[in-house]
Structure formats: C-alpha cells, structure tokens
C-alpha cells in the first residue's frame, strides 16, 4: 500500500482526538527524544514505522534513514534506532535490566505468552530454564540422527527429480521443476522450508509434518475455528493448510501490528492487509494445537522439546497446563523452522550467485569429506571448516534473518550510549541490518557477499567483527536454538554443495526479499547438477 494511502487509512480510522493526543505527546516529549532526528512523520506518529513494516522492507527503510540522519534516528514517537555496534551489549547484555517492549504483545497466541514473547524477567527465566538443557552444544548432538533422516528424504526427492530432469521431464513437486541443459531447475526455497518444518516437527512434536515426503506445502490444521477450540482435548475435523505461506503471513502480521500502539491495534484489524494476515496467525496456532494433541495421544520416552515442556512447571510449581504447553510448542515451531529455513535459503542463494566462492567451498568439502563416503556430512567432519564457516557467517551477516532492531524498554536509571542518555521507559533497538553493514567494521564493500573477509581479517579486526556480528542476538533473550540451528545449517550446506553444483536461474538478478519479523528471500531459483564425487 503506498505511504499516503496508508496514512490516510490510518488517520481516517483515528478519531481526531487521538490524532491530537499524538501531537500533545510530541510536544510534551516525556522521554526527551525530540532532540533525535528522523523522518518527520516518524517523530510525530507510529504511522511511519507501520508503513515501513507494511512495505515489507522495514530494515532497508530504517537503514536509509540512518544514512540520512546519522547513528541515532527516531523511528517512532517513543523509539530510537541506535546504529552503533557498541550499543549491542548495552541494550541486550545480561544484567542491564532492559526488557522486551510491547511490540512483542502482537506475538501472543493461543491466549498466552511463550518464552519468546514473555516480557517479565522472572517468568521468562522459569520458561527458559525448563528447556535450556536440550539446546546445549553437547545435547543438540543427540538430534543429529533425526536431522539426517530428513536430509535423506530431501536428497531422495532431489535425486529422483534430477534423474527425471536429465530425461527432459518436469513435475509439480515443490513449486514445480523442470529438466533442461543437463540440470534440474526449481525453486529450492520451499524445499528448504519443508526440511526445516519436518525437522522441527520431529524435534518439538515427535513427528515430522510429512512435507518432504509429499513434496508439498501442506500441514494438518483444524478445519474450522470451532474445531480449533476443541482440538486441544479431542480429535476434531482437520484439513490441510500451506504452513510456509502461513508462516509468511503471520510474520508480516506480527511485525506490522507490533509497531502500532495498543489503541491502534483493534482499528488495524479493519484494514484488509491486516485481516488477511491475522487469519494466517490463527491457522498456524491451529497447526501447533493439532500437533501437540497428536503427540500427547501417543506418549513417547524420547527426550525432545515437548518432553522437556512436560517436565516443566508453571509459576505455582504445577505441571504446565495443556494451553501453556501448546503456547510454548507453537513458539518453538515458529522460532525453530522459519529462521533456519530463511537463513539457509539466503546462504544457498549467495553461494550459488558466486561461482568462485562455490568452487572454493567445494574444494574444501572434497578434502574433508573424502570421496564416495556417506552422502550426508557428519557434524564431526564439518564443524570447523574455515571456508564453510565463512560462507555461513557471511550469509547470516548480509541477509540478516532478524534484520530490524529488536526493541527494548530502557530500565530504571536509564542507559547511556555514546554519551547519549536514554531515560527509563524510552524504547531503543539496534538495527541489525545496519550494523551488519557498518563500513567501519566490515569495510567499504560491506554490502557485498564476500566470505574471504572472515579469513583475511587481522586479530583486531576479527574481534571487532565478532562483537558486531549478532544474527542470534545476545544476552538473556538471545536465541536459545543457536546451537541446533548451526548444527543443521553446517550439515545441510556441506551436504548439498558437496553433492551438487548450483547456478542461479537469473544470475544477474539480486536477491529479492520480504521482511515480516524475519527478512526472507522470496525465491531461490536454481539449476543443479550432480557433481562427480561419488
């Protein structure tokens, strides 16, 4: 929706008295933020940030604002974006007292706050302690076996399509594939989505969703809203819904709704853009409800996310009720699948787009994986390959799965960032997309995908890069699934690039993205050819 149209829609929805309240807020300036520059409308109303989020390019809009106004930009009446790498530990570090802001209220689902959306420190610590153990570097290795099962299914599908592609055939699996010039041409993005969803389905709910085997984006959800309510406790009528599309819709919904003040949110529900995406959010919740109900109906002695949640206690020391259990499982379903799939797709796109990078990566993989062995890399074989790590880090840096500043409320006593004092109650965030492109850290070619920068840096530079590199955030709210995500990513990238040579279908076209809560590649259209290493 164009900016003006969005603004008019927002203003028409607002009684003039509320609009005046924004003016009063601007002049009263309770957090002393008027001194910070920013787009005129952003300083006056949250509509600017709402518009940027609706354009699905918020990180780029904020990045442009930083180029124009400098490192401190007021992006909303009570929020300042701070594009300063030193701000990362100050805003997100342990013990600084900054809590997640009301932005995260838009993530509330199935009637409760999960580990991800909980604002309260004590509640959050309790939730995190329940599951933290299974995400330790050592414990996640117990999941490698399950991950390999799903990569085997993916390879089985790609090999079959590849053999048919060599005969000039085509087919509907994924979003369609075709054979031409000795290659299999397809969009690998949905396949990586199936892989991530089936893997998290297995690790969190005890069974994959069956997307890889079907070669199709379809997960079981309750057939109606009424069935969704009953599905917690009894078998209800179900239907299939496209999980990847639901994740996309829900991500755009929560990101655009979260930047609006609480009193705007019910009004946004009347705008078609929000209404369509709200539906995705509730269907996705239905997917978690069905999966939890199915798992609890068939008890298992496996140690996984759900078994840990079943051992967990609520704030009264009682076992988690079915709803809280489902709320948490739902959070893991989303946090553990969409992020990994998005990051992997971006990494694969960039390696495919850079033939010299791909060649160097394959040389390294051939040396360390040997010839003719197991087609799926073992973590032990690939956990510390310097060029593979550089390719992955560089993908996580330039694409930025979580690209926008994760908003935090300044605690009592305020925060000081580069000599600027932010009072309690103001909201600050460090825009990851922008600090991941800071030329003082990454050099003048910061926009370019160049894995070599991770290997060429001297120790001082390397330390600065590591301090600024923050794909999993840091501090008490950092990603709990980091070890699992990296385990999956390293095995999958090594396996796929050792087995196939990738070329982009449109080599001159830059990556196209849409940002909801995550900044996602829209497609990764490639042609693959089996390499002669087996």
Residues at the site binding ligand HEM, with contacts judged by CB under 6 A: 115-116, 128, 331-332, 335-336, 339-340, 343, 401-402, 406, 471-473, 477, 479-481, 484-485
How buried is 93 (Cβ within 10 angstroms: 0-12 exposed, 13-18 middle, 19+ buried)?
A: middle
Measured from the CB atom, the residue of 161 and 331 that comes closer to ligand HEM is 331
Closest contact distance (angstroms) between CB of 238 and ligand HEM is 24
The DSSP bridge pattern shows strands 219-222 and 238-241 to be antiparallel
| Residue among 151 and 335 whose Cβ is closer to ligand HEM | 335
- The torsion region of residue 439 among left (phi > 0), alpha (psi -120 to 50) and beta comes to alpha
By C-beta, is 47 or 131 nearer to ligand HEM? Answer: 131
Those residues with Cβ within 8 angstroms of residue 251's Cβ, 6 or more apart along the chain or in another chain: 338, 516, 517, 518, 520
User: Half-sphere exposure (CA, 13 Å, Cβ side) for 70?
Assistant: 5
In the complex, the smallest distance separating the C-beta of residue 260 from ligand HEM, rounded to whole angstroms, is: 17
Reported as type and span, the H/E element at residue 526 is strand 525-530
Structure tokens at 425: 């109650």
Across the beta sheet with 500-504, the strand order is 170-171, 177-180, 183-187, 525-530, 500-504
Cα 483 from Cα 236, distance rounded (Å): 36
Residue 479 annotated as binding site: yes
Identify the DSSP state of 173. S
Burial of 23 (0-12, 13-18, 19+ CB in 10 A): exposed
Q: How far is the CB of 517 from ligand HEM (least distance, A)?
A: 8
Min CB(115)–ligand HEM separation in Å: 5
User: For ligand HEM, which is the closer residue by CB, 280 or 401?
Assistant: 401
Query: By Cβ distance, which residue is nearest to ligand HEM?
Result: 481
Residue nearer to ligand HEM on the CB measure, 45 or 345: 345
Q: Under a CB-based contact definition with an 8 Å cutoff, are residues 431 and 122 in contact?
A: no
- Name which of 290 and 334 has its Cβ closer to ligand HEM: 334
Alpha-carbon distance of 309 to 325, in angstroms, equals 6
CA dist., res. 64 & res. 78, Å (int): 20
Q: Which residue do the tokens 């080599």 mark?
A: 507
Nearer to ligand HEM by Cβ, of 165 and 392: the residue is 392
Minimal distance, residue 60 CB to ligand HEM, in Å: 18
Task: Provide, rounded to whole angstroms, the least separation between the CB of residue 110 and ligand HEM.
Answer: 15
Least distance (Å) from ligand HEM to the CB of residue 336?
A: 3
**Binding annotation:** 479
**Binding annotation for heme:** 479
């Amino acid at each position: 929706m164009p900016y003006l149209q969005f603004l008019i829609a927002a203003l028409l929805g607002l009684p003039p008295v509320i609009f005046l309240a924004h003016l009063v807020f601007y002049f009263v300036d309770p957090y002393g933020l008027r001194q910070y520059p920013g787009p005129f409308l952003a300083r006056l109303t949250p509509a600017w940030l709402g518009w940027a989020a609706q354009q699905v390019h918020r990180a780029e809009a904020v990045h442009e604002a930083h180029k124009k106004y400098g490192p401190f930009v007021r992006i909303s009446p009570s929020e300042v974006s701070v594009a300063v790498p030193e701000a990362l530990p100050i805003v997100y570090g342990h013990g600084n007292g900054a809590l997640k802001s009301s932005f995260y209220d838009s993530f509330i689902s199935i009637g409760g706050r999960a580990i991800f959306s909980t604002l309260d420190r004590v509640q959050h610590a309790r939730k995190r302690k329940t599951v933290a153990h299974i995400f330790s570097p050592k414990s996640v290795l117990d999941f490698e076996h399950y991950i390999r099962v799903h990569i085997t299914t993916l390879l089985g599908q790609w090999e079959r399509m590849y053999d048919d592609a060599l005969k000039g055939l085509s087919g509907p699996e994924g979003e369609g594939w075709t054979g031409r010039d000795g290659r299999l041409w397809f969009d690998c993005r949905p396949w990586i989505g199936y892989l991530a969803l089936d893997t998290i389905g297995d690790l969190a709910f005890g069974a994959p969703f069956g997307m890889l085997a079907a070669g199709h984006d379809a997960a079981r959800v309750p057939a109606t809203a009424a069935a969704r309510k009953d599905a917690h406790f009894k078998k209800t009528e179900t239907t299939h819904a496209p999980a990847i599309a639901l994740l996309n819709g829900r991500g755009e919904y929560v990101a655009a709704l979260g930047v609006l003040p609480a009193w705007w949110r019910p009004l946004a529900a009347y705008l078609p853009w929000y209404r369509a995406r709200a539906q995705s959010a509730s269907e996705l919740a239905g997917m978690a409800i069905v999966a939890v109900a199915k798992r609890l109906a068939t008890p298992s002695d496996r140690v996984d996310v759900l078994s840990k949640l079943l051992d967990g206690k609520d704030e009264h020391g009682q076992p988690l009720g079915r709803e809280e259990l489902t709320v948490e499982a739902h959070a893991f379903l989303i946090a553990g699948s969409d992020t990994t799939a998005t990051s992997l797709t971006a990494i694969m796109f960039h390696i495919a787009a850079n033939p010299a990078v791909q060649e160097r990566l394959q040389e390294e993989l051939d040396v360390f994986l040997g010839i003719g062995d197991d087609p799926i890399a073992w973590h032990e074989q690939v956990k510390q390959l310097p060029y593979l790590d550089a390719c992955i880090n560089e993908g996580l840096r330039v694409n930025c799965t979580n690209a926008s500043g994760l908003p935090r409320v300044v605690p009592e006593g305020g925060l000081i960032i580069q000599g600027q004092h932010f009072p309690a109650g103001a909201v600050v965030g460090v825009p990851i997309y922008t600090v991941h492109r800071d030329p003082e850290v990454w050099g003048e070619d910061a926009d370019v995908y160049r894995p070599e920068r991770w290997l060429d840096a001297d120790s001082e530079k390397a330390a600065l890069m590591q301090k600024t590199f923050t794909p999993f955030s840091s501090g008490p709210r950092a990603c709990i699934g980091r070890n699992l995500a990296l385990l999956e990513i390293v095995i999958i990238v090594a396996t796929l690039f050792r087995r196939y040579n990738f070329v982009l279908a449109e080599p001159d076209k830059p990556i196209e993205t849409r940002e909801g809560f995550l900044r996602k590649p829209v497609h990764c259209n490639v042609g693959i050819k089996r390499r002669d290493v087996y």
